[in-house]
Chains A and B, each alone.
Chain A
Amino acid sequence: MLRLEGIEIALGDFRLRAEMELAQGQSYAVIGPSGAGKSTLLGALCGFVPLRAGRVVWQSQDITTAPPGERPMTMLFQDNNLFPHLSVTQNVGLGIRPDMRLSVEDKDRVAAALARVGLADQAGKKPGALSGGQQSRVALARVLVQARPWVLLDEPFAALGPALRLEMLDLVAGLVAETGAGLIMVTHTPEDVRRIADQVIFVDDGVARAPEPAAELMDNPPPELKAYLG
C-alpha cells in the first residue's frame, strides 16, 4: 500500500494537494486538464518535486525524503529515457547496476528482458538506430529488470502514433501483470483509461482526487470531469 498523507506541493504560484491510498497491483490513470499538475504529482511521488507538507508512506515506511533512486518506483519520462551513447544492452543493464558491473546472471536477466519485449536481436545497437517504438521497448525492458513495485509513466509514448501507443500500453499492462507491480500513468486519452486503468485519479483545481473505479467514473463523470472530457 502506497499512502499519500496530506500532501501539499508548492511551486511558485502553483499549488497541489493530494490525499489517497494506492494498492499495489492496480493500474491508475491520472487525468485532468493541461497544467493541472499531473506530471508534478508523479514527480513528487518519485522524489523530484519537494513536498511542502505531508508524507509519502510505502508499506508503513516513510519515504518522503528518500532520493529518487531509493524509492520503490521507477518512472518513464516523455523523453530522454535512454542514453543515446550507450548500447541497448547497456541502457537496460543500468537498471540492475548503476555502475554497470553486471554479473553473468545480471546479463542473463538483461537478455531475457530484451527477449520479452521482442528486441533480442537489437541488443548491440544504439538507441539512435532504432525506431520510436523499439526505443520505448528498450525503456520498458529496463523497467522490467528494475523490478520495482511501482511503475510511473509520464506520457512516454506521446510521440508515437495511435496504433503504436496502444501496442505499448498493452505491453506495459502485460509487464505489470506479470511482475505484480502497480501502475500510475498520466494520460490525455479516455480510450487509454478504458483500455488499461482500473482506477482514475482526476487532477483539477489544485487537488488530486482520491482514485475512483475507472469504468463507473467514465460512464458517469461528475460535472468537472465531464467538462474536461467534453
Chain B
Amino acid sequence: MAWRSVPVSTKSGVSMAALVVVLILGALIAVLSRAEAGTGFAPSDWAAMRFTVWQAFLSALFSVLLAVPVARALARRRFLGRGVLVTLLGAPFILPVIVAVLGLLAVFGRSGWLNLLLEGLGLPAVSIYGIQGVVLAHVFFNLPLATRLLLQGWQTVPAERFRLAAQLRLTPWAVFRTLELPLLRKVVPGVAALIFVICLTSFAVALTLGGGPRATTLELAIYQAFRFDFDLGRAALLSVVQLVMAGGAALLALWIIPAISMGSGQDRPLLRWDARGGWQRLWDGCVIALAAGFLLVPLCAVVLRGVTGIVVMPGSVWQAAGASFYVSVLSVLVLGAIALPMAGWIASRRAGGVEAVGLLGLSASPLMIGTGWFIVINPLMNPAALALPVTALVNALMALPFVLRIIVPRLRDTLQDFGRVTETLGMRGWPLWRWVILPRLAPQLGFAAGLTGALSMGDLGVITLFADMDRATLPLQMYRLMGAYQMQAASGAALLLLVMALGAFWACDAVGKHYAAA
C-alpha cells in the first residue's frame, strides 16, 4: 500500500523557498528600477551580446566535439588509473576558475610552455588573450563535464548489444553507426545546450582572458559599467539583457538538458568485445593521453610555480585567505539553513519541480543579483562593509540547485522507508532531523557541503562588485596580483587557493562519509 505520510514540517521549507524567490526577485526589481532604457544600447553593448552568444556557442561546440572521442575511448578501454581519471573529470567542477586560468596561462600564455616550444621551432607565438583564450578556458572546464555526461550515456547501452555486435562481427564503422550514433544523437544536444547555458553567464574567464571591445561578455560588461564608469543605470540595463538571454536559453533548453549526476558509479567499464584492433587501441590511447594532459598539465604548472611563489606572497594574501575561509564557512551554513528545510518540503511532495529550480539557478547571473543588491544596499550603508556576507549569500544561492539535486532523492527515500515508523513513534521536528534524517543523509550532506565550500572558496564574481581595497577574498587578491604583474606571488596564491578549495571539499566529504549510516 502506498501510504503517504509527511512527518516533515513543510512550513519552514516553504518559507525558505519564498526567501530565495524574494532575494532573487528583489534584486531583479532593483535592477529594473534603475535600468535606463532611454539611451538604448551602445554599439559596444551589441558587441557584448554577440560575443557572449558566439563564445558560448564555440565553447559548447568544441567541448562536445572533443568529448565524443574521449568518452568513447574511456567507455571501451580498461587500464590502470582509469577510475582515478574518471574521478578527476569531476574535479573542474570544484576547481577555482582563476586557478585554472593561471595554469592555462603557464602553458599557453605569452611566455608559457607552448610558446617556448614554438619559439624553439622558429614558429610565431600564439596569444591566449581574446576569444581563443576564453573558449580554451571554457573547454578546459566543460570538456570533462561533457565527457562525464557522454560516458553516462554510453553506459546506458546494454552490454548485450555489444555482445551481439561482436557475434555479428560488425566492423568498427558499423558498430559506430548502429550503436553509438543513435546514442550520441540522443545525448549530445542536451550536453551542448547545458554547456552553452553555463558559458552564457561566464564571468571570471572573460575577466581574465577576455576584455576589450572584441572579447567582452555581458557579465563582464556589467562589471565594467559598474566598476569603471560606476554607471548603475547601464549595469542594470545589461543585467536585464543578461537575465532575458540566459533565462530564455535555459527555458528553451529545459527539455533537453540531461540530469547532472554528481555521484560515482561511472568507473565501471563495460565489457567490450569490439575495437580490439591495434590502430583503434593506439587511437584511444592517444585520445586519453591528450585529454589527460590537457587537464593535468595546467594543474601541474600551478603546483610547480606555486611552490616557489608561496614564499614571496605578501601578507595581504594570507588576510584574503582568511576572508575566503570565512566566506566559505558562512555560505555552507547559510546554504544548510536554506537547503535542508527546502529539501524536506520538496521530498515530502511527489517528484517534480526540482529540475526547474536547478535550471533557474543555472541561468541566474550572480552579477545581476549582485548589482540588484548593491542598488538596494547603497543608499542605506557602504556596500563594501557587506562585501563578504553578500558574497557568501550569493554563493549559497548559486550552489542551491546542485545541492538540492544531491540531497532530495536520498531524503525522499528516507521518508519513504522510515516515515511511518517515525510517525508511530511520534517523532517530529528536531528529533526527527537529529536522529533519523541527518544520520541517514550524512554522506550526501558532506558531499553537498564540500561542493558549496569549494565553489564559494574559489568564486570570483559578486565580490568584484562589492569589494574595496581593504576587503578581498583570495581569488580577488590573486586577480589583483595578476593585474599588477606579480605573477610569482599570484602563483603562490593560486596554489594556496587550490589547496583550500580542494581541502574544503575533501574535509566536508570525509566528515560526511565518516558519519555515514550503516
Contacts and interface: CB of A to CB of B under 8 A. Distances in A.
Nearest to A101: B431
6 contacts: A48-B3, A48-B423, A83-B439, A94-B425, A98-B427, A127-B518
B430 interface: yes
B47 to A, nearest CB: 57
Interface of B is mostly: helix
B1 interface: yes
Interface string B163-202: 0000000000000000000000000000000000000000
Nearest to B417: A80
Contacts of A216: none
Interface string B477-506: 000000000000000000000000000000
Nearest to A35: B1
Given A98-B431, A99-B430, A69 B424 contact: yes
A188 interface: no
A118 interface: no
Instruction: Report the interface size class on chain B.
Output: 20 to 34
A84 B427 contact: no
Interface of A: 11, 39-40, 43, 46-49, 67-70, 74-75, 77, 80-81, 83-86, 90, 94-95, 98-100, 126-128
Contact of B418 (A74, A83, A98, A99): A83
Most chain-A CB neighbours within 10 Å: which of B417, B426, B432? B426
B440 A69 contact: no
Given A67-B426, A74-B424, A80-B417, 4 more contacts: A48-B3, A68-B5, A69-B427, A77-B421
B252 to A, nearest CB: 37
B431 A85 contact: no
A77 B435 CA distance: 20
Contacts of B420: 48, 68, 75, 77, 80
B312 interface: no
Interface in B430-459: 430-432, 434-436, 439-440
A99 B417 CA distance: 20
Contacts of B439: 83, 85-86
B424 A40 contact: no
Given A39-B1, A85-B440, A100 B423 contact: no
Contacts of B5: 48, 68
Residue from A11, A68, A95, A127 with most neighbouring chain B CB atoms (10 Å): A68
A90 B425 CA distance: 13
B436 A83 contact: yes
Interface in B1-44: 1, 3, 5
Q: Is the interface of A mostly helix, strand, loop or mixed?
A: loop
B518 A85 contact: yes
B423 A99 contact: no
Contact of B427 (A47, A77, A94, A126): A94
A33 B197 CA distance: 55
Contacts, number: 71
User: Nearest 7 A-B pairs (CB), nearest first?
Assistant: A69-B426, A85-B517, A99-B431, A68-B423, A98-B427, A85-B439, A48-B3
Contacts of A86: 435, 439
A46 B517 contact: no
Interface string B405-425: 000000000000110110111
Contact of B517 (A67, A84, A94, A99): A84
Contacts of B436: 83
Q: Which of B421, B423, B517, B518 has the most CB of A within 10 A?
A: B421
Contacts of A46: 424
Nearest to B5: A48
Contacts of B421: 77, 80-81, 83
Contact of B423 (A40, A69, A90, A94): A69
A98 B426 contact: yes
A94 B435 contact: yes
B155 to A, nearest CB: 29
Contact of A43 (B1, B440, B517): B1
A85 B417 CA distance: 13
Contacts of B434: 99-100
A71 to B, nearest CB: 8
Nearest to B432: A98
Contact of B425 (A40, A80, A95, A126): A95
A126 B517 CA distance: 10
Most buried by B among A48, A74, A83: A83
A49 B421 CA distance: 14
Given A83-B436, A98-B431, A69 B1 contact: no
Contacts of B431: 98-100
Contacts of A67: 423, 426
B435 A68 contact: no
B435 A75 contact: no
A86 B518 CA distance: 8
A207 B97 CA distance: 66
Contact of B518 (A75, A77, A100, A126): A126
Nearest to A84: B518
Contacts of A74: 424
A11 B423 CA distance: 20
Nearest to B423: A68
Contacts of B417: 80
A83 B1 CA distance: 21
A86 B417 CA distance: 15
A98 B427 CA distance: 5
A223 B270 CA distance: 58
A192 B474 CA distance: 70
Nearest to A142: B425
Contacts of B518: 84-85, 126-128
A43 B421 CA distance: 12
The interface centre, meaning the residue of A48, A49, A70, A126 with most chain B CB atoms within 10 A of its CB, is A48
Contacts of A99: 427, 430-431, 434
A130 to B, nearest CB: 11
B421 to A, nearest CB: 6
Nearest to A47: B423
A99 B510 CA distance: 27
Interface in B53-86: none
The residue in A40, A47, A77, A98 that gathers the most chain B C-beta atoms within 10 A of its C-beta is: A98
B109 to A, nearest CB: 51
